[in-house]
Amino acid sequence: MTIPHRDDISLALRSIRYSKTRSLLTVLGIVIGIVSVVTIVSIAKGIESQVTGQINASGKDIILVKPGQVNKTSSKDILGGLNQLSSLSSISNLTQNDVNSVASSKGVVSSAALNIVSGQVKSDNGKFSSVVVGAGNNFLSLVNQKIAYGEYFSPTSSDVYQAVIGANLAYPIFGEKIPLGHSFIFHGKTFIVRGVFSNIQSAPFSVNTNFNNDIFIPYATAEDLTNNTAPIYEIIAKSNDQALVDQVQKNINQNLLQLHGGLQDFTVLKQSQSLALTTQVLNSITYLISIVAAISLLVGGVGIMNITLVSITERTKEIGIRKAIGATNTQILIQFLVESSVLSLFGGIVGVILSFIVDYILILTTTLSPKIDLPVLAIAFGVSFGIGIVFGSLPAFKAARKDPILALRYE
C-alpha cells in the first residue's frame, strides 16, 4: 500500500529537519495552546473526581446548610459561575436557632454545626495564623472522618480546652508528626492537643474549605471564647434514609424559611448539588483558560502562515522549475499544504507530550490529581492539524498561482 503524497511528506520532514530552530519557534503558539487546554481540562476532571470521592466518602445522605444564597445562573455564564462561591456569604447570618431547627427537622438523624473563630495560635514554635473551627460532637461520624493519632473530643470530658488538628499542621506548629499532649494558646486559653486527623479529602475550588489546615475545638468552647458571636460556617445534617434526602432537604429549607421570615438568605445543598456547584465553577475557569489557549493557537497559526510564506519566497525558483517540467497548480498547492500540516502536527505532538509531562509534575508536586481526557486530547490534536490546513491555505494558493516564467527568473 502506498502512502498518499509520500514525496510531499518527505519534503516537509526534510524542511523541518533543516530548520529545526525556526520550525520549533513557529509552532510554539500551538504547543502552548494545546498544553494549556489539555492541562486545564485534566485538572478540572481530576478535581471533579476528587469532589466525587469526597462525596462518596462522607455519604450521599449528607445535607449542608450554608449562609448566603447561590443564584441560579446559566452554565455558560462565566462570571456568574465564578461568583457562585462568593454568593455563599463569608459573614454568616446563621444562628443557634438555625442549628436547633436543622437538628429538629423531620428526617434528620444527626447534625453538627461548624463555626469559625479568628485569632492567632501561639505555640513553642511561634505564632501562627490558622483557621480555628468550632465543631459539634457529631462532626466525626457525620463526615465519616478518621483520627490518625489520639482521639476526638469527649463530650463527657470536663476539659473544654481541647483540640484536634488537621494533618498539615503538626510539623508547622509543633515541629513533630504526633504532637499529642502538646499545648497552644488561643484567645488567652491553653488548649491541649487530643488528636490529629487523618487526611481529610478536599478539593480545590470546592464549596468546602480544606480542613487539613485547620484546628478544631469544641463548638461550645468556640461560642464561649467569642461570647456567642462566632460566625457559623455551615451546618451539617444527615438524613435517616438516603432515598429520602430530597424530602429532608425540603423540610430543612421550609423550617429555616420560617425562622428567617420567608427570606432565602441561606443555601441548603445536597452532596450532589455541592458537586454540581463545584463543577460549574470549574467549567467557568476552563472556559476562560480555553479562550487564552485559543489565542495561543491563533498565534501559532499565524506563525505557520508566515513561515510558509517565507519558505515559498525562498523556493520560488524551485516552484518555477516544477511547473516548467509539468507540475500542476494542484500539485504545488498540495505540496505546501502538506508542509504546513506536517508543521502543525509536529506542534500537536510536542504539545501532547508536554501535557503528559506537566500533568505528571503536578501530581508529584501538588495535591492536584489531573486526569487526561482522551476526547479532549484527540480534539486538541485535530485542531492542530486543522490549523495547518487553514493557515497554510493562503500561502499555498499563492505558490500555486505563481507564473512559472517569472518564478524561473526570480533571484
SS3 260: coil
User: Could you tell me the residue ranges of all domains in the chain?
Assistant: 6-51+284-409, 90-264
Residue that is written with C-alpha cell 513533630 in the block:
176
Give CB contacts under 8 A, 24+ apart, made by 78-82: 78/284, 78/287, 78/288, 79/284, 80/284, 81/280, 81/281, 81/283, 81/284, 82/281, 82/284, 82/285
pLDDT of residue 149: 92
Give the pairing type, strands 189-197 and 162-165: parallel
pLDDT of residue 203: 46
Residues in the chain: 411
pLDDT of residue 70: 64
Integer Cα distance of 150 and 219 in angstroms: 19
Print pLDDT tens along the chain (411 aa). Answer: 344 456 667 766 676 676 777 777 778 888 888 888 888 888 878 877 777 776 666 667 888 898 887 654 444 444 444 444 444 444 668 889 999 999 999 999 999 999 989 888 998 888 888 889 999 888 888 888 889 999 998 777 767 899 999 888 888 888 888 899 999 999 999 999 999 998 876 544 444 566 788 899 999 999 999 988 888 888 999 888 878 888 999 999 999 999 988 888 888 888 777 767 667 767 777 777 777 777 777 888 888 888 888 878 877 787 788 788 887 888 888 877 887 888 888 888 888 899 899 999 988 887 778 888 888 888 888 888 888 888 888 888 888 788 777 766 666
Write out the three cell numbers for 133. Answer: 473551627
pLDDT of residue 73: 47
- Report DSSP letters for 14-69, one per residue: HHHHHTHHHHHHHTHHHHHHHHHHHHHHHHHHHHHHHHHHHHHHH-TTEEEEEES-
Other beta carbons within 10 Å of 99 = 20
**Which neighbouring-strand residues pair with 218?**
135
pLDDT of residue 84: 46
pLDDT of residue 2: 41
